[in-house]
Amino acid sequence: MSRRPFLQRHDIRHVIVFRALQLGDMLCAVPALRALRAALPDAGIVLTGLPWAAQFAQRFDAYLNEFIPFPGHPLLPEQAVRHDALTGYYAAICERGFDLALQLHGSGDVTNHVVAGFGAKTMAGFTRGEASQSDRTLFVPYPENGAEPERLLALPDRLGAPITGAQLEFPLRREDIDELETSKLAPDLEPGHYICIHPGARKRDKCWPPERFAEVADQLKDEFGFDTVLTGSADEAPLARAVAEHMRTPAIEAAAPISIGAMAALMSRSRLLICNDTGVSHIAAGLGLNSVVVFSKADIARWAPADRLRHRCIWDPAAERAAVVLQHARALLAGTEPSGQRAAGMWPYW
């Protein structure tokens, strides 16, 4: 078998990538998509995933040319299966005759079967077993350690794509800013003079209690004088209201039916984001916005943003470490480091 990298052994002009996950998981895949685009600058690259990700593909049009909604699979929990759409979905993809199908969705126990159904000329992806390679397939062991963006980069690396770094991105568009301004959610906020608190998460059982967010917000208001903006989706408005009700200082409730892009535009003008382990922590990483992220269930080594100077990740499943959250919020707002806690040039997790 040729020693040339997999991508160089085939004429690849049309690629389909499968990753059917939520916002944070998709943002963690951006470095892998960036590497793929660097390797195939002229290829048409199609993403297929959860229907909401049409907006993800549109935002990252530097790496993706098209989006196809995935109708689901009985063994994948992210969405209910639209059984009536399955036959047409696979038939339409097979008819396209893709040169390469990439499985970028986990260890492949279920998803390799999904991607094999695309009928592409070649296929690559992760596997739970040992690495295997033929002339037309490449399977890489799914990494069990490391941050999610770095794990996903193992696949394009083995394919021979140039790795352009594990940093995240979240490009803002003019329409994001226009939507924010039209919403009138916070018309009098001065950029750089407020902090955002995002108390929600897709899974409510991993949310820090509203009273803890309120405690931190009040103390930061007393010490720094910045306004407090409570962000979230429209469904999270009751949670934002609960935080506001526990506060003794005023807050701006901005949990509303705006797009992810408009919410990111609001956050981008703030000094700091305090949130649970959820998708907005990866938006903050993509924006270069300082953040304090409270973890209670997820694998912190896998899901914490990579820049531990800018993003302080606190393990607090018992909701008893508000003082630690405050300590790191103060350090980020004041531009200082908590004394005695920096080691070997890299912040640990707290």
Note whether 66 and 81 are within 8 A (CB). no
**pLDDT value, residue 349:** 61
- For the domain bounded by 174-334, which CATH number is listed? 3.40.50.2000
Q: Buried b vs exposed e over 171-197: b needs ≥16 C-beta within 10 Å? A: ebeeebbebbeebebbeebeeeebbbb
Q: What is the mean pLDDT of each run of 10 residues along the chain (350 residues)?
A: 82 98 97 98 98 97 98 96 97 98 96 98 95 93 95 97 96 96 89 96 86 98 97 95 97 95 96 96 97 94 93 96 97 69 45
**pLDDT value, residue 186:** 81
Containing 217, the helix (H) or strand (E) segment is helix 210-224
**pLDDT value, residue 103:** 98
**pLDDT value, residue 263:** 96
β-strands 137-141, 132-133 pairing: antiparallel
Domain residue spans in the chain? 6-159, 174-334
**pLDDT value, residue 82:** 97
Q: What is the fold of 6-159?
A: Rossmann fold (3.40.50)
Model pTM score: 0.93
**pLDDT value, residue 335:** 84
Residue 295: closest CA among 265, 319, 259: 319
**pLDDT value, residue 343:** 33
As a whole number of Å, the CA-based R_g of the chain is 21
Question: CA 327 to CA 33: how far, in whole Å?
Answer: 36
**pLDDT value, residue 126:** 97
**pLDDT value, residue 348:** 56
**pLDDT value, residue 341:** 39
